[in-house]
Structure 1
Amino acid sequence: MPVKTAPAELTAGDSALRTRYLNEVLALLYPLPCATGDRRGEPIAEYLVVPDARRPRLLVPTTSRRVAAAAVRRYAEPQSRAARLKRDAVVAALRTGASSVLLRDRVRITGPVSASIDGYLHEALGRDLSVSIHIGPARANRKPVLQLISPEGETFGFGKLGTGPLTQRLVKAETTALTALGTVGLTKLTVPSVLHAGQWRGLQVLVQSALPVWLPRAPLTPRRLTAAMIDIAGCCGFSNGTLNGSAYWAELRGRLHAVGDRPEGVALAAAAEQLAARSGDHTLRYGAWHGDWAPWNMANLADALLVWDWERFAKHVPVGFDAVHHELQRRIQSSGDAGAAVEATVRRADELLAPFTVAPEVRELTALLYLVDLATRYLADRQAEAGARLGVLGTWLLPVLIRRVEEL
C-alpha cells in the first residue's frame, strides 16, 4: 500500500541529491500526520544534521549529549586519519554542549509518536530508544539505515528498511541469512543476530544486534581473513561438479537472460557463454559466500573478526568468490582505478584461491566467473541508472573481462 507522506523540506531551493534523499527518508520514517518543521505540534524527535543540510550524511538525535555523542562515535569507523579527527571533534562538541558552533542545521519532527518509526521500534523491541539516521550515497540498493541507541548511550542495534522491490528483497534476504548463520556454529567470525523482523507501512524492517565496531582495531592477517572466509564457504556444506552441469551456472544464465535487453548485458552474456564453452567441463567446488565481503563491511578486533551486511549471502557458488571480491574492492578503494584493480585481481587469482583448495586449473576460471556474477548484479540492480560511481560497466569491468576470457 502506498504511504502518504508529509513534506520534509530542509532548505528552500536546495536540489542536492543527498538533501533530496534525506527529505524522502524523513517522509518515509515520519509519514502524515507527522510533520517536519512545524513547531506547533507534539515533538517526536529533533536531529542535528551532520555536517550540514547541504551535505547531509548523518542525522543525530538531540535526546541527550550522551546519546548524540554515541550516534556519531559509534556509527562507523572513518577510513582516514583526517576523517577520524573530524569525527572526534564533532563527538567532543556534542559531549560538551558546544555542538551549536559546528552543527547549525536541525530537523524537528512533530506529530503522534504512534505514526512514526520511533513508535514502531519502541513497540516492536519493548524498550526506550533514540534513532540516528544514515544518509548514504547514490546507489540502487540505498536504503534507510538506523542506529538504535539506549537512553544510556549504548548502541544496541541497527535497523534497515526496504523501501522498494530491490531493497525489500535485500532486507528479506539478510534476515534469512542472519537467521541461518546463527545456527551453523561459526567459529572464525562474528555476525549480528536478528532482534526483530517485520513490516511497517509497506516497508520491510530488519533490526539486528550492533557489533562493537567502535572497539580498538587489530591488524588483520591474511591467514585470519582466509580462515573466516573458509568458515563461511563451508557453513552449509560443500559440493563438487562441472560448471556446465551445476545449479550455479543454470541460475547465473537465468540472471544473464534477465539483463539481456541492454547492450552491456548482451556483451556480458556472450563472454559468459564463451567462458563456459572453453572451461565448462572443469570440476569446481561449491559452497557459500558473504556476497559483499569488502574492507568496509568488517572490523578486526584482538579477539574477534566482525562481519556485517549479509544481504548478498548465497549458497552453491564457486568457492573463493569472497576472496576475489575482497581483493577487488580493496584495490579499488586504495587506488581509485577500477579497471586496473580488475586486471590486478585476476592476475592474483592463483595466489588468492590456493588457500581455498581450488584446483590450479580452475583458479582463473573462478575469478572470471566472479566478475560475470558481479557485473550481472550491477546490471540487474540498475546501478548505472541510480548514479552509482561504478555503475557503467563498460568503463572498467567489461573490457578486462572480455579480453581475459578471450585469452583463457
Structure 2
Amino acid sequence: MPVKTAPAALTAGDSALRTQYLAEVLALLYPEPCRTDDRKGEPVAEYLVVPDARRPRLLVPTTSRRVAAAAVRRYAEPQSRSARLKRDAVVAALRTGASSVLLRDRVKVTGPASESIDGYLREALGRELSVSIHIGPARANRKPVLQLISPDGETFGFGKLGTGALTQRLVKAETAALTALGTLGLTKLTVPRVLHAGQWRGSQVLIQSALPVWLPRAPMTPRRLTAAMLDIAGCCGYTTGTLAASHYLVELRSRLAAVADRAEGTELAAAAEKLAAHTGDTVLRYGAWHGDWAPWNMANLTDALLVWDWERFTKGVPVGFDAVHHELQRRIQSSGDAAGAVEATVRRSAELLQPFGVAPEARELTALLYLVDLATRYLADRQAEAGARLGVLGTWLLPVLIRRVEKL
C-alpha cells in the first residue's frame, strides 16, 4: 500500500495545511509526555523532513542509512521522470550519508518510548521496526499512514490510524474487507494481509502486509484489468433484479437522505429520483466493488496485479462500478479537467461496460448511478469542508450528471 502522489505542485495554501497537519500527526503519534521541541530527554525517534519543513511530505527515520534509504525508495512510485530522478537523488544521498546537504530539517522526539506509536507497534507485532510517516494533502478521509521498516531495510508493512468518526469507520471497514477477501480464493489479483488490528489511544489501527510494489512494472492490458475487477465483482456472489426493486436503491436513498440538508444534496437526490423514475424497470446485475479502484491504488507486475486501499469495499452494487471509477480517475489524473473527464467517461460507458456483461440498455444507467453514488460519498464525507480539490461537486460532477439525466 504505497501512498498516493499529488499530481501537481503544492500551493502555498496546501503547504500551510501540510505543515499544520505535520504538527497534528506528531502530537497524535507521540503524545505527552513525549516532546518534539528539542528539549533534553530519552530519545524516542528522529526524522528527516522531506523535502523540508515548509513542504512536508514524508518523515524519514534516521535509524540507519539503509532504513532511511528504504523509507524514500519505497514511499511511492513517482509519476514522472523528473520526480523519479529527484527521488533517486534523495535515496543516493541517504545511502552515502550526504543527506545533510539536501535535507536540513529534522524532528527529534524525546520521552518514554512506551507511550509512542513506535513502542505500541513493536509490542503488537513482536519485532523491531522503524516508522516512516506520510504527510498527505487535505482530504476528509486523510489519516496517518505509516511505513514499517525492519532494521535490514525491508518494508514489511503499512499502517493506518483512524482518528475521527469517518476515518475510524474507514479503517474498520478496510480491516473487515481484507479479512474477508483473504478467505475468498481470489485468483486474478493480490491484496494485502492483515498483520494487526486494534486500538491505541482512541485511534483505530490497521497494519497490513506490504505488497511488493517496488518490483518492475508490466504494461496493463484491458483484459487483465477486467478479469481482476470481475474477480472482485463476483467474490461474494451475484444477484439480479430491476433497479426499482433493488436493495441497492434503498441503500442509496438512505444515504441521500443523510445529505439532504445541503443544496447539492437536494439537487443530487432530485437527479437520482428522476433517474429511478425513467429507468426503474431496467434489470441490473449486482455484485461487489473495490470502491476506489484508481491507477494509484494498484501495480501491475509480470505475474501479479497488486491492489490496495480497500476501505470503500462494498457488496450489492451494479456490476461495472469499478470500471467506470477507474476510467474517471484516470482521465482526471491525465487531463486535470474533471468536468470533461466525467462527460467523456459517460460517453464511453457502452465500451467500458460491455466486457462486464452489462446489457446495452443498462450501460449509461450504470455510469450515471455510479456518479450519484460517488457524489453522495463526497457529500457524506464533507470533502468540500475538508478542502479537497474536487470537494465542490457543483464545479464538475453535478452539472454533467443533471444534464445527462435530463436527456433520458
Q: Which residue of 2 aligns with 1:205?
A: 205
CA drift at 1:405: 0.5
Q: Which residue of 2 aligns with 1:310?
A: 310
Q: Which residue of 1 aligns with 2:43?
A: 43
**Quick one: distance in 2 between partners of 1:150 and 1:280?**
54
* Number of equivalent positions: 395
Q: Which residue of 1 aligns with 2:4?
A: none
Structure 1 length-normalised TM: 0.96
SS state at 2:299 partner: strand
Superposed, which structure 2 residues align to 1:174-185 within 5 Å?
Answer: 174-185=174-185
**Quick one: distance in 1 between partners of 2:100 and 2:216?**
29
Residue 140 in structure 1 maps to residue 140 in structure 2: yes
Q: Which residue of 2 aligns with 1:394?
A: 394
SS state at 2:178 partner: helix
- Amino acid aligned to 1:273: E
Q: Which residue of 1 aligns with 2:339?
A: 339
Q: Which residue of 2 aligns with 1:105?
A: 105
**Quick one: distance in 2 between partners of 1:246 and 1:214?**
42
**Quick one: distance in 1 between partners of 2:89 and 2:333?**
25
Q: Which residue of 2 aligns with 1:300?
A: 300
CA drift at 1:38: 2.9
CA drift at 1:15: 8.2
Q: Which residue of 2 aligns with 1:7?
A: none
**Quick one: distance in 1 between partners of 2:135 and 2:324?**
29
SS state at 2:109 partner: strand
**Quick one: distance in 2 between partners of 1:82 and 1:267?**
43
Q: Percent identity?
A: 87
**Quick one: distance in 1 between partners of 2:348 and 2:17?**
38
Q: Which residue of 2 aligns with 1:246?
A: 246
SS state at 1:269 partner: helix
Q: Which residue of 1 aligns with 2:236?
A: 236
- Amino acid aligned to 1:278: H
Q: Which residue of 2 aligns with 1:91?
A: 91
Unaligned 5+ runs, structure 1: 1-13
SS state at 1:36 partner: coil
Superposed, which structure 2 residues align to 1:319-398 within 5 Å?
Answer: 319-398=319-398
**CA deviation digits over 1:72-117, x for unaligned, max 9?**
0012101111111100000000000000010000000000000000
**CA deviation digits over 1:211-251, x for unaligned, max 9?**
01111111000110000000000000001011111111100
**Quick one: distance in 2 between partners of 1:84 and 1:188?**
29
CA drift at 1:199: 0.2
Q: Which residue of 2 aligns with 1:62?
A: 62
Q: Which residue of 1 aligns with 2:53?
A: 53
Residue 288 in structure 1 maps to residue 299 in structure 2: no
Q: Which residue of 1 aligns with 2:7?
A: none
Retained in 1: the 8 A contact 2:375–2:397? yes
Q: Which residue of 2 aligns with 1:260?
A: 260
- RMSD of aligned Cα (Å): 0.9
CA drift at 1:37: 2.5
SS state at 2:287 partner: strand
- Amino acid aligned to 2:133: I
CA drift at 1:16: 1.1
Q: Which residue of 2 aligns with 1:3?
A: none
Residue 276 in structure 1 maps to residue 279 in structure 2: no
**CA deviation digits over 1:325-346, x for unaligned, max 9?**
0000000000000000000000
Moved over 2 A (4+): none
Q: Which residue of 1 aligns with 2:30?
A: 30
Retained in 1: the 8 A contact 2:15–2:56? no
CA drift at 1:39: 3.8
**Quick one: distance in 2 between partners of 1:42 and 1:365?**
61
Retained in 1: the 8 A contact 2:15–2:55? no
Q: Which residue of 2 aligns with 1:150?
A: 150
Q: Which residue of 2 aligns with 1:119?
A: 119
**Quick one: distance in 1 between partners of 2:294 and 2:106?**
33
Q: Which residue of 2 aligns with 1:76?
A: 76
Retained in 1: the 8 A contact 2:324–2:370? yes
Retained in 1: the 8 A contact 2:149–2:156? yes
**Quick one: distance in 2 between partners of 1:142 and 1:291?**
16
Retained in 1: the 8 A contact 2:163–2:203? yes
SS state at 1:151 partner: coil
